[in-house]
Amino acid sequence: MNGVLVLSKRLKRVYPPFDDVGFSQFIESQLGELSFNERIALISEAIEKFLPGDFESTSQILVNSLPEPRSRELKELGGFMLLPKSKFIARKGLDSFDTSINALFEMTLRFSAEFDIRLFIARYPEATMKKLEELALHPDPAARRLATEGSRPRLPWE
């Protein structure tokens, strides 16, 4: 099943007023020849357009729509479909540190938020590095990955 369709169904399940059809059509009509990063940005923009206007509510909807870590549902969704969610958190949540860091943590347990945590390091270096130090000792390897990979200054393709 198409990743956008799976994502829209998961959002609809946790937020019934969500226009899953409009969301999917908005994205599908613009995908065309977009690069991978442009697709992530488009889906992140669609999240903003089709979910509530306040960051706290949308953040909670995104977290609630996550499949369980290492689940069959997560494989069905595809880890890369979580990148637009973490991109949304980084774009819209820089003024909501605690909510954003908690959302990125939940997302990284399922895929990776290493790209988006860097914006929080830049804005809140001490608080973010303190959180990453805690995560470096976390029992889950995905949390430790956020600490190690997320604190690298740049990735090879940046």
What does the pLDDT look like over 58-70, one tens digit per residue?
999 999 999 888 8
Measured from the Cβ of residue 124, the count of other Cβ atoms closer than 10 Å reads: 16
pLDDT at 153 over 80: no
More confident residue, 49 or 74: 49
State the amino acid at position 50 in one-letter form: F
Secondary structure in 3-state letters for the chain: CCHHHHHHHHHHHHCCCCCHHHHHHHHHHHHCCCCHHHHHHHHHHHHHHHCCCCHHHHHHHHHHCCCCCCCHHHHHHCHHHHHHHHHHHHHHCCCCHHHHHHHHHHHHCCCCCCCCHHHHHHHCHHHHHHHHHHHHCCCCHHHHHHHHHHCCCCCCCC
Using CA atoms, how far apart are residues 19 and 38, in angstroms rounded to an integer?
22
Q: Are 127 and 97 in contact (CB under 8 A)?
A: yes
What does the pLDDT look like over 22-39, one tens digit per residue?
999 999 999 888 998 999
Residue 1: per-residue pLDDT: 46
Q: Are 135 and 105 in contact (CB under 8 A)?
A: yes
Query: CA-CA-CA-CA torsion for 143, 148, 153, 154, nearest 10 degrees?
Result: -80
What does the pLDDT look like over 89-107, one tens digit per residue?
999 999 999 999 999 999 9
Q: What is the mean pLDDT of the chain?
A: 91
* pTM score: 0.90
Instruction: Give the C-alpha distances (Å, rounded to integers) separating 98 from 53, 78, 95.
Output: 19, 26, 9
What does the pLDDT look like over 114-128, one tens digit per residue?
889 999 999 999 999
